[in-house]
Amino acid sequence: MQRRQWRELAWNSLKTFPIVCKLCTIHLIQLKGGIMMKIAVIAPGALPEEAKTAMKAEMLTYAEPGTTLEVFAVEEGKIAVAADLDLKAPSTVALARKIENHGFDAIILDGT
């Protein structure tokens, strides 16, 4: 092979490296009997971005290998606790459907 072809091959390998790593991780988790799961957290809203990031980081400390997490917020109106999410039922329902359609496995209504 010529030098240019070697360079292209190296570049292509580098590009696919993250995908290969991800597939290996998934395979390893499945081999260990784990399952991949995506969990969505619906925050009551009015949370700044930093709080959502911190919340995600905090929750991931309890997560099993293979669990991923996204934090969503019902932005409309201001409520403080999850129990009041029903006050914003149409938005919550729409968000819940969107979450399910995006392949999430469970929803947590956050806020006690």
Partner 1 sequence: MAARSAVRIPVVGAASATYHLVYQLGGKYAVISVNEKINPTFLRAIKLADCENRLTSMRSLKRPFSVPMDRLPYTPGELEEEIADIAAKQVEEEGAQIIVVAFTLLNLFVKPGALQRLSSRLNVVFVDAQAIAFKTAEMLVRLKLSHSEREYPLL
Dmax (CA) for the chain in angstroms is 67
What is residue 1's three-state secondary structure?
A: coil
Residue 37 contacts residue 67 (beta carbons within 8 Å): yes
Q: Using the rule CB under 8 A, which residue among 7, 13, 54, 65 binds partner 1?
A: 54
Query: Is residue 86 involved in binding partner 1 (CB under 8 A)?
Result: yes
Q: Which stretch, 4-12, 19-27, 99-107, contacts partner 1 (CB under 8 A)?
A: 99-107
Query: Is residue 80 involved in binding partner 1 (CB under 8 A)?
Result: yes
Of 8 and 64, the one with the shorter C-beta distance to partner 1 is 64
CA torsion angle 39 55 29 36 (round to 10): 10
Residue 71 contacts residue 55 (beta carbons within 8 Å): yes
Residues in contact with partner 1 by the rule CB under 8 A: 35, 37, 39, 42, 46, 48, 51, 54-55, 58-59, 62-64, 67, 78-86, 89, 92-93, 95-97, 99-100, 104-112
